[in-house]
Amino acid sequence: MPLFWRIFLLNALVLIAATALLLGPVTVSTPVLLTEAAVLTVGLAAMLVANALLLRVGLAPLQRLTRAMTTIDLLRPGQRPAVGGQGEVAELITTFNTMVDRLEEERATSSARVLSAQEAERRRVAQELHDEVGQTLTAVLLELERVAGQAPPGLREEVRQVQETTRAGLDEVRRIARRLRPGVLDELGLASALKSLATDFGGPGLSVRHRLDADLPPLGREAELVLYRVAQEGLTNVARHARARHAEIALRRAGPGVELCVRDDGHGTGDAAEGAGIRGMRERALLVGAGLVLGPGPGGGTEVRLIVPGPAPLPDPDRNGRS
How do residues 242-294 score in pLDDT, each as one tens digit?
888 999 999 999 888 899 999 998 887 777 777 778 888 888 888 888 888 88
Contact 306, 285 (CB under 8 A): yes
Question: Distance between CA 125 and CA 119 in Å, rounded?
Answer: 10
In the prediction, which pLDDT does 314 show? 44
Can you state the percent helix, strand and coil of the chain, rounding each to 5? Answer: 65, 10, 25
Where residue 306 falls among pLDDT bands split at 50, 70, 90?
very high
What's the whole-model pTM score?
A: 0.62
Tell whether 118 is covered by a domain: no
Tell whether 99 is covered by a domain: yes
DSSP output for 271-302: TPPP-HHHHHHHHHHHHTT-EEEEEE-BTBSE
In the prediction, which pLDDT does 304 show? 92
207 and 99, same structural domain? Answer: no
201 and 100, same structural domain? Answer: no
The candidate with the shortest Cα–Cα distance to 144, out of 154, 156, 135, is 156
206 and 100, same structural domain? Answer: no
Question: Distance between CA 160 and CA 150 in Å, rounded?
Answer: 12
Q: Look at the chain and report how many structural domains it folds into.
A: 2
Question: Distance between CA 238 and CA 268 in Å, rounded?
Answer: 9
Question: Distance between CA 257 and CA 307 in Å, rounded?
Answer: 7
How do residues 170-193 score in pLDDT, each as one tens digit?
888 888 887 777 777 877 888 888
Mean pLDDT of 138-167: 84
Tell whether 148 is covered by a domain: no
Tell whether 89 is covered by a domain: yes
Tell whether 307 is covered by a domain: yes
In the prediction, which pLDDT does 321 show? 47
Tell whether 24 is covered by a domain: yes
177 burial via Cβ count (<10 Å: 0-12, 13-18, 19+):
buried
- Compute CA distances 32 → 25, 38, 48, 103, 116, whole Å: 15, 10, 22, 63, 81
Residue type, 202: G
Which residues does 9 contact at the CB level (< 8 Å), separation at least 6?
Answer: 1
Query: What's the whole-number average pLDDT of the chain?
Result: 79
The candidate with the shortest Cα–Cα distance to 28, out of 18, 37, 41, is 37
197 and 90, same structural domain? Answer: no
Mean pLDDT of 33-53: 73
In the prediction, which pLDDT does 298 show? 82
Tell whether 293 is covered by a domain: yes
Contact 274, 262 (CB under 8 A): no
DSSP label at residue 241: I
Task: Give me the domain span that covers residue 302.
Answer: 189-313
Instruction: Among 105, 139, 173, give the residue marking a domain's end.
Output: 105
How do residues 92-107 score in pLDDT, each as one tens digit?
888 888 888 888 777 7
In the prediction, which pLDDT does 19 show? 67
How do residues 78-132 score in pLDDT, each as one tens digit?
677 777 766 777 788 888 888 888 887 777 777 777 777 877 787 788 778 877 8
CATH number at residue 201: 3.30.565.10
Tell whether 164 is covered by a domain: no
Instruction: Among 44, 73, 105, give the residue marking a domain's end.
Output: 105
* Residue 261 β-bridge partners: 250, 305
Question: Distance between CA 304 and CA 98 in Å, rounded?
Answer: 31
200 and 298, same structural domain? Answer: yes
Buried b (16+ CB within 10 A) or exposed e, 72-84: eebbebeeebebe
Question: Distance between CA 231 and CA 41 in Å, rounded?
Answer: 69
For the cut 80, the answer to whether the pLDDT of residue 36 exceeds it is: no
Contact 297, 263 (CB under 8 A): yes
Instruction: Among 87, 105, 123, give the residue marking a domain's end.
Output: 105
Which residues does 271 contact at the CB level (< 8 Å), separation at least 6?
Answer: none
Where residue 148 falls among pLDDT bands split at 50, 70, 90?
confident
